[in-house]
């Protein structure tokens, strides 16, 4: 089996916390695969992503990407943050350019980097706003710039941390379609954190369901065997889509109901 | 590759430009009037009240009509120079502004540097912060005798008072700005591996810039407060001593005119620093 991104026996504990957040996570991701990680709030989904990104250290176990252990953050694992994290003093173009200059200056000429920035802005259809600053564009547009910035680093893995969580439903659907297109076009391996069941089923090849934290484990892994390209309208009535959706819902609400809600 | 860009820009310009022109003249003037009218009305009312209150037989202060009569040459011609201290207000203000400019510039350089130091180093923070917290409460004029003793001259002493007055808010705000670089920006920097000087110039300094400008804005205000008081004591050309001199010769009208100028210049300084901040931080200071 293709062990492109290998998470093995990964446990993460925070200092002074008696119970680890994540316990003994084992997950192997193939090259080009789109994996969604889903679970209730506070189950440690984002922690898992941050460990893959190298922003948080693993307490035990580890993450191996293409045979090399992850020891810190790096551009081979580009992150699209939940709150876009664009630098407000730079224009959209400059935000992407900073990442490109920083990560690709050894392999690309100045002119090539400029073209590459524009190509990635065009990919997320943001060429028209390249000279605007983040506070002049909408939330959905900011997130698209964030995606362009991440893709422009030529990452081996694209890490999406609830990228559409703060957006309205229509913008979210639009961006999901764009991410699907980009994934088809570039073939990037994607790990996406989400709490949206429809989003997970629509976008992912595989859905990893986490049990409630602390001490969260992988409860179940669901292969989504829907052909690509996927069309949200056609899928809504597709029995395979409906089955996958209800399987995830079943896991989240019947077997591992939100502890905060259950207590209330 | 750049061919697409001019097109939408031109299109929006063409769309947005005719719109204001289409509005009738009165409708365009209205918002301007709504801005300008209230302060003018309040001003007129206050001047009227002042005139009324200071016109009685027992009044100790001159009414505006008398101020105009007494100090007309001062108001109309701020640029005259009859040698010595007998100069127009422009020259007095210029002398004061030069002192403030020098002292404030030194405070900016030293304050930002110290702020960056205690913002980035825990050791420097623990060592220097208690000292700063005590020293910053010392009133500006309390430094004057000491600096006169040290420099033995009026000019550098006044500049030192400006420096020591305005440096504290600059240090403290810079340090807060450096400590408050959002985790998001740090994460971005970590992912693209920005470190050392590149991190300093591309993330740290721009992220702290809005805070630094807050410090500068407070600092320039304090400088202007302090220079007036310091000049009253050190003498020479300067708006502070001008006021003191006018008091000694019982020239109340001159004092009132000078006060108005001091207020206007202080306001202009504040706006100037705010404008510089907006230009440098591209409006991110507001958000």
Look at domain A5-76+155-263 and name its CATH class: alpha beta
Cβ within 8 Å, pair A89-B191: no
- The alpha-carbon gap from B106 to the nearest alpha carbon of chain A, in Å, equals 26
* Residue B287: pLDDT over 60: no
Q: Does A259 touch chain B (CB under 8 A)?
A: no
Q: Give the mean pLDDT of B208-226.
A: 95
Residue A121's pLDDT is 95
Condensed to tens digits (0 to 9), the pLDDT of residues B125-155 reads 999 999 999 999 999 999 999 999 999 999 9
Which chain B residues are closer than 8 Å to A73 by Cβ? 187, 190-191, 193
Residue B1's pLDDT is 39
- The alpha-carbon gap from A252 to the nearest alpha carbon of chain B, in Å, equals 29
- Residue B182: CB atoms within 10 Å: 14
Cβ within 8 Å, pair B5-A127: yes
Handedness of CA A86, A89, A92, A96 (dihedral sign): negative
Cβ within 8 Å, pair B190-A55: yes
Question: Residue A9's pLDDT band (boundaries 50, 70, 90)?
Answer: very high
Residue A1's pLDDT is 59
Q: Give the mean pLDDT of B244-273.
A: 93
The token pair at B136 is 């910053």
With a CB cutoff of 8 Å and minimum separation 6, the contacts of B273 are B213, B216, B217, B220
What value, to the nearest 5°, has the Cα angle with vertex B29 and ends B27 and B32? 125
Q: Give the mean pLDDT of A14-29.
A: 89
- Residue B104: CB atoms within 10 Å: 28
Cβ within 8 Å, pair B190-A102: no
Chain B residue nearest residue A54, CA to CA: B191
- The alpha-carbon gap from B189 to the nearest alpha carbon of chain A, in Å, equals 9
Condensed to tens digits (0 to 9), the pLDDT of residues B77-89 reads 888 888 877 888 9
Of A110-119, A228-237, B73-82, give the range with the top mean pLDDT: A110-119
* Residue B7: pLDDT over 80: no
Name the residue facing B191 among A78, A88, A131 (closest C-beta): A78
**Cβ–Cβ < 8 Å for B285, B216:** no
Question: Residue A255's pLDDT band (boundaries 50, 70, 90)?
Answer: confident
Q: Does A131 touch chain B (CB under 8 A)?
A: yes
Question: Residue B182's pLDDT band (boundaries 50, 70, 90)?
Answer: very high
Would you kindly state where each structural domain of chain A is located, as residue ranges?
5-76+155-263
**Cβ–Cβ < 8 Å for A37, A208:** yes
Which chain A residues are closer than 8 Å to B184 by Cβ? 81, 83, 85
Q: Measure the CA–CA gap between A46 and A162, rounded to whole angstroms.
A: 8
Handedness of CA A167, A172, A176, A182 (dihedral sign): negative
In angstroms, what CA-CA distances link A31 with A28, A116, A189, A230, B114? 10, 23, 6, 20, 50
Cβ within 8 Å, pair B284-A135: yes
Identify from A56, A75, A85, A160 which residue to disrupt to test chain B contact, counting B C-beta atoms within 10 A and taking the largest count: A85
Q: Does A98 touch chain B (CB under 8 A)?
A: yes
Average pLDDT, chain A: 91
Average pLDDT, chain B: 88
Condensed to tens digits (0 to 9), the pLDDT of residues A25-83 reads 999 999 999 999 999 888 889 999 999 999 999 999 999 999 899 999 999 999 999 88
Query: Is the ipTM here above 0.85?
Result: yes
Q: Does A102 touch chain B (CB under 8 A)?
A: yes
Cis? peptide before A229, omega within 30° of 0: yes
Condensed to tens digits (0 to 9), the pLDDT of residues A69-110 reads 999 999 999 999 988 899 999 999 999 999 999 999 899 999
Condensed to tens digits (0 to 9), the pLDDT of residues A158-180 reads 999 998 888 888 989 999 999 99
The token pair at A25 is 């996570």
The half-sphere exposure of A77 on its side-chain side, counting CA atoms within 13 A, is 26
Chain B residue nearest residue A85, CA to CA: B184
Residue B276's pLDDT is 93
With a CB cutoff of 8 Å and minimum separation 6, the contacts of A220 are A209, A251
Question: Residue B164's pLDDT band (boundaries 50, 70, 90)?
Answer: very high
* Residue B180: pLDDT over 50: yes
Question: Residue B16's pLDDT band (boundaries 50, 70, 90)?
Answer: very low
């Amino acid at each position: 089996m293709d062990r492109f991104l290998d998470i093995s026996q990964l446990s993460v504990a925070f200092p002074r916390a008696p119970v680890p957040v994540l316990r003994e996570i084992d997950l192997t991701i193939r090259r080009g695969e789109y994996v969604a990680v889903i679970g209730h709030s506070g189950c440690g989904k984002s922690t898992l992503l941050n460990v893959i990104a190298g922003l948080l250290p693993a307490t035990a176990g580890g993450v191996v990407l293409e045979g090399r252990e992850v020891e810190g953050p790096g551009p081979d694992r580009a992150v699209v943050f939940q709150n876009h994290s664009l630098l407000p003093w730079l224009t959209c173009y400059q935000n992407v350019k900073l990442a490109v200059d920083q990560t690709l200056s050894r392999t690309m000429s100045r002119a090539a980097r400029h073209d590459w920035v524009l190509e990635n802005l065009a990919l997320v259809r943001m060429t028209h706003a390249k000279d605007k600053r983040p506070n002049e564009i909408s939330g959905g547009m900011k997130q698209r710039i964030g995606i362009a910035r991440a893709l422009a680093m030529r990452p081996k893995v694209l890490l999406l941390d609830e990228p559409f969580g703060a957006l309205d439903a229509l913008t979210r659907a639009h961006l999901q379609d764009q991410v699907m297109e980009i994934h088809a076009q570039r073939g990037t391996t994607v790990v996406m954190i989400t709490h949206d069941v429809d989003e997970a089923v629509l976008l992912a090849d595989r859905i990893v369901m986490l049990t409630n934290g602390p001490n969260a484990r992988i409860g179940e892994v669901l292969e989504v065997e829907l052909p690509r390209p996927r069309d949200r309208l056609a899928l809504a009535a597709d029995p395979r889509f409906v089955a996958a959706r209800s399987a995830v819902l079943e896991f989240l609400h019947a077997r591992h109901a939100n502890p905060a809600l259950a207590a209330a | 590759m750049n061919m697409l860009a001019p097109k939408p820009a031109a299109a929006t310009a063409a769309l947005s430009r005719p719109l204001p022109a289409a509005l009738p003249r009165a409708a365009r003037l209205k918002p301007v009037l709504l801005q300008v009218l209230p302060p003018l009305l309040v001003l007129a009312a206050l001047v009227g009240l002042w005139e009324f209150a200071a016109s009685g037989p027992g009044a100790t202060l001159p009414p505006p009509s008398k101020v105009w009569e007494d100090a007309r040459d001062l108001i109309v011609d701020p640029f005259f120079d009859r040698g010595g201290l007998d100069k127009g207000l422009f020259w007095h203000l210029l002398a004061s502004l030069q002192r403030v400019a020098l002292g404030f510039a030194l405070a900016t350089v030293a304050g930002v540097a110290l702020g960056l130091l205690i913002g980035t180093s825990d050791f420097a923070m623990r060592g220097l912060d208690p000292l700063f917290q005590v020293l910053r409460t010392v009133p500006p004029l309390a430094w004057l005798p000491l600096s006169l003793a040290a420099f033995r001259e009026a000019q550098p002493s006044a500049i030192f008072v400006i420096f020591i007055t305005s440096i504290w808010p600059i240090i403290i705000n810079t340090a807060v700005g450096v400590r408050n670089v959002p985790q998001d920006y740090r994460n971005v920097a970590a992912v693209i591996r920005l470190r050392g000087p590149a991190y300093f110039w591309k993330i740290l300094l721009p992220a702290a810039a809005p805070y630094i400008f807050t410090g500068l804005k407070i600092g320039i205000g304090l400088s202007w407060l302090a220079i007036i008081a310091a000049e009253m004591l050190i003498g020479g050309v300067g708006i502070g001593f001008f006021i003191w001199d006018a008091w000694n010769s019982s020239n109340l009208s001159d004092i009132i005119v000078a006060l108005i100028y001091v207020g206007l210049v202080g306001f202009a300084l504040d706006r100037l620093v705010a404008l510089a901040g907006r230009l440098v931080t591209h409006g991110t200071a507001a958000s």
